[in-house]
Amino acid sequence: MIMKKYIYILATILIGFNFGSCTRDNENLAVDLSKYNSDITAQNDVDLWLSKTFVDVYNIETLYRFDRNLIDINKDVSPVYLDRVEPMMTAVLSTFLEPYEKIAGKTFIKQYTPKQFVLLGSPSYNDNGSITLGTADNGRRVVLYEINSLNFSSPAAIKRPIRTIHHEFTHILNQNIVIPPSFEQVSKSDYTADWTGAANTAAVAKSLGFISQYARSSFGEDFAEMVAHLLVEGQVYFDNYCATTNAAAAADLRAKERLVYSYFKDFYNIDFKLLQNEVQSVLKTKYNATDPVDVTTTFPMMLANNKIASITYNPSAAHYATYGQSADFRAVYENFRVAMAASSWVVRNVQFLFASSTKMTFRVEFTQGTGTTVYYGDYDFNMAINNTNGLTTWTKSIPEGAGTTYSNGAIASILVNFERFFLPYLTNRQFVASYLPTGITSTDPLYRTFGGFSVNGAAGNYFYGPIVLK
């Protein structure tokens, strides 16, 4: 019985392109076949290299001469350029075969890897507006499309066919050992055959706990997409993806991640983390890929994840002489300090205490007259922060609460000055949370040891201080 032919349809196009608007590229399809491989019948250097590298070592055949019998006869697909064959198969070797061989062993390679790779120049265009980038046929053959336009010097571009290969190979593994039902149960009610429909945007798919739009098409594609993205896009990408969605979606994604790890370990005795590290190492050293910025370590994300305890503003501290400070905020502080001095209160500093991701306490630290006893005046705020762009708003928490919530801040001469100067400053503006000052670069030992807030739309109005972590 012929097993199901799995088709991997591109679920994410390069940033700026919508997969739903893909159209037939007539320039790519209108080709001069005399220049192509159907007329290349004699053995050439490429054939010799393929034979030595793939046939002799892995018993894998590469078919690049155009053959209609290898593709859907209802689709117009162009042949691959001869000079694209070796670069593409080099990528197959270094980012797929060799990592699996190193981590899973030679026996695994001989038993499970496909025995034919078919290379084609253009995509295969589908009626629903998507394009096919690869297929896996009966566990024996993998077909790769759209190679003629591939920029092998672009890390983002090379990841596309590599992700396709890993996706298709996952289907082959699943044909041998089925995906455990527990994986399907994670998102069972959210799969849809109409994955290219307008209702299934990338944002919607992400909000439902899917790694891509195409992952919503079925649990089998969901599993293959998870494997391919974890291996090729990498762990930092996946962690960022989870960190920038809602809690329920992130939980589903993490559950799927754990099930992928256990599937590879339980059924194939493969340490998926080691395999991921190996693929990532090749992509970085051979194709100059880099990890995205780890958003989990940005100041907004640290605040949103309740990792920051406090920042303190003391204008006499040495770092303000070195890196500068905002004249606007300094003026607010000085006006408050002078007003407090009129009542014999000596302001030492102000602090921003983050009890949680939604609560900020503004604290005034002061002494009285010439005394040395330190007092605190506390004022609670509700905090709303966007963990992606850092946009932050504070609203006064009313009532303050029982007990010592106000601390000494309830003293009339202190409260009136707080309400006159700091309260309107903090509540009448939207702020942007970030690592400040911007003059501290990544090579500075103090990099990311200070954090603060600038007024949205007025970057010169800001305050910052040393970060204390929880």
Secondary structure string (H, E, C) spanning 348-382: EEEEEEEEECCEEEEEEEEEECCCCCCEEEEEEEE
Distance CA 5, CA 140 (A): 11
- What contacts 466, CB < 8 A, 6 or more positions away? 311, 312, 319, 449, 450
More confident residue, 206 or 5: 206
pLDDT in tens, 77-126: 888 999 999 999 999 999 999 999 999 999 999 899 999 999 988 877 77
Q: Which residue's structure tokens are 């700026």? A: 16
With a pLDDT cut of 90, the percent of the chain lying above it is 73
Residue, of 133 and 468, whose pLDDT is higher: 468
Tokens, residue 316: 């006499």
- pLDDT range class, residue 137, cuts 50, 70, 90: confident
Let me know the angle formed at the C-alpha of 246 by 243 and 251, rounded to the nearest 5 degrees: 75
- Measured distance CA(150)–CA(435) in Å, rounded: 38
Token output for 120: 């084609």
pLDDT in tens, 327-347: 999 999 999 999 999 999 999
pLDDT value of position 196: 85
pLDDT in tens, 46-74: 999 999 999 999 999 999 998 877 777 67
Environment class of residue 26 by beta-carbon count within 10 Å: exposed (0-12), middle (13-18) or buried (19+)?
exposed
Interval 395-422 mean pLDDT: 82
Rounded to whole angstroms, the Cα distance separating 38 from 53 reads: 22
Kindly state the average pLDDT of the residues 268-287.
98
Angle among Cα 215, 70, 44 to the nearest 5 degrees reads: 115
Instruction: Return the pLDDT at 30.
Output: 53
Domains of the chain: 6-293 (3.40.390.70), 300-469 (no CATH)
Tens digits of per-residue pLDDT, 6-48? Answer: 334 433 322 222 333 333 444 455 555 544 555 556 788 999 9
Q: Mean pLDDT across the stretch 282-296?
A: 94
Average pLDDT, the chain: 88
Q: What is the mean pLDDT of residues 406-428?
A: 92
Cα dist. 175→67, 170, 444 in Å?
26, 9, 52
State residue 20's pLDDT score: 36
